[in-house]
Chains A and B, each alone.
Chain A
Amino acid sequence: MLKANSDKRRAKNGLPLKAKWRRDWQMVLLMIPGVVFLLVFFYLPVIGNVVAFQDFQPYLGIMHSEWNGLQNFVNLYANPDFWDALRNTLLLAAVQLLLFFPVPIGLALIVDSLVSNRFRRWFQTIAYLPHFLSWVLVVTLFQQSLGGAGFVNNLLRQAGLDPIPFMTNPDTFPLLVVAQLIWKDAGWAMIIFLAALTTVDVSLYEAAAADGAGRWRRLWHITLPALRTVIVLLLILRIGDILSVGFEQFILQRDSVGPGAAEVLDTFTYYAGVVGGDWSSGAAAGLAKGVVGALLLWGANSLAHRLGEPGIFQRRT
């Protein structure tokens, strides 16, 4: 009985552990640095989230701070600042999804329709560049262009018009944020759509054109269906990321616009916890965000599977 079992195990695993170790020990050694990094700088902080269930005091540390169950979450629930942050996060995510998401698709369609390769390369070179600039640099460039003393407002003043407070008006802040995102990443996000477009079988276009389909019908019946998988994939990623809206972007502009419009969950965590010293509330907000984000990503991915799309986390067969 025992022997039969161990035989079965061997058949399943191929070799006994010892032989595998003798064969693979160098590979295991190669994994060690990476695994240590993961344990220390990912899994240890993941466990460190227990401070969300403590009345954490830095001088006591995690080991000696008192546990207080769900009290921090109850406090969050009663904290209007947290609800502001949550509302801003969802609002900004929705505006981004609506206004940012279609832009790279549109750009890719236009670029793909260009016949001149030179013009196309020239445009791509410029459009990809801002992705590699830091958020500090992007926000600075926006401030120098659109800020109170920026060159656009300088021009307006020289023309005798009133300057427009693009950078400091909390009401238009969501639009400003999307404009910055488009400036920085729309060109970059275009890459993946362009790649998908190159996989479309040209004979489909040819056949459709021979059957009398004009450019718009070809776009609707051939091009867009070809992009569907990629669009679904990127939508899933966006949904999983919905609570993260772009942390550095907000922390950099929270002073000039005010927390009323620019406080998002991540900045709330930072200002309540690290700056304000209310570690436990911050950690509770951070943990809630992480868990909900993971669930959203998982849910969106399962939904995509349901709809027959590959999604991001593919099931192995």
Chain B
Amino acid sequence: MRPVWKENPSPGYQAIKAVILGGFALVIVVPILVVISTSLASDKDIIDAGGYVLWPSHPTVKAYQTLFSGGLMGRAILVSVFVTIVGTAIALAVTIALAYATSRPVLFGRPVLLMVLFTLLFAPGIIPMFLVVKQLGLLDSLWSLILPGALGAFNFVVLRTFFMNVPGELLESARIDGASDFTILRRIIMPLSKAVIAVVGLFYAVGFWNAFFNALLYLNDTSKWPVQVILRTYVLQGKSLSADQLGVHPPPQPQSLQMAVVVVALVPIAMVYPFLQRHFTKGVITGAVKG
């Protein structure tokens, strides 16, 4: 509804707005669509179109079959899924516990909170991180992709802000009924914050799925590469997938194969996005405004 005091926009203004917003949206959507279409296109479609396909007239999943029949991509997906699931579980457990413990005025709460907030101010640097991970014997181990990212200061702030807003009387009455702090966390705090915990979990999961540089830094063993590194090596750097990595002869057009790799990296994000979108605005704003 247009408020009465607001003048009706002139057609000129409306056209400019539509062009700006529509253009912005198109520039985002078209490359993604082209990639998906090309991954589903047949060899003939690709040759006819000269490389990229806007709409595959003979859709086929041959590129995906080829990709998954070889060991390379299947293994990379397993690695990424493992890192994402285990990483998110560990990160959530650690962050929830720490955020709850520092959300109340308790012993050591203040100094520990300052310890976390200091991480927002200063970054230790790539080389000391590398040396620590190496010293712990985590090089070439998937744990090197999980453990260093297990506590995100931003996610911590979002959760802590939310926990602080749980009324103290609620916790006090539970305590009088004999509930321990563990019970309160499990039975009161966590059920009350399901949506925020879900969003923070998804933020962690997206972060673990998307992480690229950690793998480049800590993993030499190509059999442990996650999807993002595969994407960089075989699409961005254009290294061609060899026949034994694919296991299908003759392989389909490299173009559709490459685009299938892109889609594999994209799909999990696209799947969680609708849920994420429904809730993140609130999370981001509580975190940013009250942090």
A62–B101 Cα distance when bound, in Å, is 35
Closest partner residue, chain A, to B4 (CB atom): A206
Q: Determine the chain B residues whose CB is within 8 A of the CB of A290 once the complex forms.
A: 122-125
Q: Determine the chain A residues whose CB is within 8 A of the CB of B55 once the complex forms.
A: none
28 examples of A-B residue contacts, CB within 8 angstroms: A20-B106, A21-B107, A26-B181, A34-B116, A44-B132, A45-B132, A48-B128, A49-B124, A49-B128, A110-B21, A125-B277, A127-B25, A129-B270, A129-B273, A134-B228, A136-B229, A136-B231, A137-B210, A137-B262, A140-B232, A141-B262, A144-B31, A144-B35, A144-B262, A145-B34, A191-B284, A248-B212, A269-B126
A317 to chain B, nearest CB (A): 15
B87 to chain A, nearest CB (A): 12
B108 x A51 contact (CB < 8 A): no
A279 x B127 contact (CB < 8 A): yes
A192 x B288 contact (CB < 8 A): yes
A27 with B51, Cβ < 8 A, contacts A46-B128, A127-B28, A141-B31 known: no
A49–B123 Cα distance when bound, in Å, is 11
The answer to whether B15 has its CB under 8 Å from any CB of chain A is no
A142–B236 Cα distance when bound, in Å, is 10
User: Do most interface residues of chain A lie in helix, strand or loop, or is the interface mixed?
Assistant: helix
Return the contact of A126 from the options B29, B236, B266 (Cβ within 8 A).
B29
The list of the 3 closest CB pairs from A to B, nearest first, reads A34-B98, A48-B128, A286-B125
Write the B148-159 contact mask toward A (1 if CB under 8 angstroms, else 0). Answer: 101100000000
* Interface of chain A residues 98 through 146 with chain B (CB within 8 A): 107, 110-111, 113-115, 119, 123-130, 132-137, 139-145
Q: Determine the chain A residues whose CB is within 8 A of the CB of B107 once the complex forms.
A: 17, 20-21, 23-24, 27-28
Q: Determine the chain A residues whose CB is within 8 A of the CB of B74 once the complex forms.
A: none
A51 with B212, Cβ < 8 A, contacts A125-B277, A136-B236, A143-B236 known: no
A134–B265 Cα distance when bound, in Å, is 9
A187–B126 Cα distance when bound, in Å, is 30
Closest partner residue, chain A, to B130 (CB atom): A274
A-B contact count, CB below 8 Å? 266
The answer to whether A35 has its CB under 8 Å from any CB of chain B is yes
Q: Determine the chain B residues whose CB is within 8 A of the CB of A286 once the complex forms.
A: 125-128
User: What count of chain B residues pass the 8 Å CB interface test?
Assistant: 93
A154 x B28 contact (CB < 8 A): no
A305–B232 Cα distance when bound, in Å, is 44
Return the contact of B97 from the options A31, A43, A132, A150 (Cβ within 8 A).
A31
Return the contact of A31 from the options B101, B125, B129 (Cβ within 8 A).
B101
A47–B9 Cα distance when bound, in Å, is 60
A38 with B104, Cβ < 8 A, contacts A127-B28, A141-B35 known: no
A82 to chain B, nearest CB (A): 15
Q: Determine the chain B residues whose CB is within 8 A of the CB of A130 once the complex forms.
A: 28
B126 x A273 contact (CB < 8 A): yes
Selected interface stretch from A2-10, A73-81, A170-178, A292-300: A292-300
Closest partner residue, chain A, to B230 (CB atom): A136
Q: Determine the chain B residues whose CB is within 8 A of the CB of A282 once the complex forms.
A: 126-127
The answer to whether B162 has its CB under 8 Å from any CB of chain A is no
The answer to whether A67 has its CB under 8 Å from any CB of chain B is no
B231 x A140 contact (CB < 8 A): yes
Write the A25-68 contact mask toward B (1 if CB under 8 angstroms, else 0). Answer: 01110110111011011111111110100000000001000000
A115 with B131, Cβ < 8 A, contacts A42-B119, A132-B273 known: no
The answer to whether B241 has its CB under 8 Å from any CB of chain A is no
* Interface of chain B residues 242 through 266 with chain A (CB within 8 A): 259, 262, 265-266
B34 x A33 contact (CB < 8 A): no
Q: Determine the chain B residues whose CB is within 8 A of the CB of A49 once the complex forms.
A: 124-125, 128
B225 to chain A, nearest CB (A): 12
B116 x A38 contact (CB < 8 A): yes
Return the contact of A140 from the options B6, B109, B262 (Cβ within 8 A).
B262
The answer to whether A312 has its CB under 8 Å from any CB of chain B is yes
The answer to whether B235 has its CB under 8 Å from any CB of chain A is yes
Return the contact of B34 from the options A23, A47, A144, A209 (Cβ within 8 A).
A144
The answer to whether B221 has its CB under 8 Å from any CB of chain A is no
A269 x B125 contact (CB < 8 A): yes
B185 x A132 contact (CB < 8 A): no
B17 x A114 contact (CB < 8 A): yes
Return the contact of B285 from the options A123, A192, A210 (Cβ within 8 A).
A192
B32 x A252 contact (CB < 8 A): no
A247–B126 Cα distance when bound, in Å, is 11
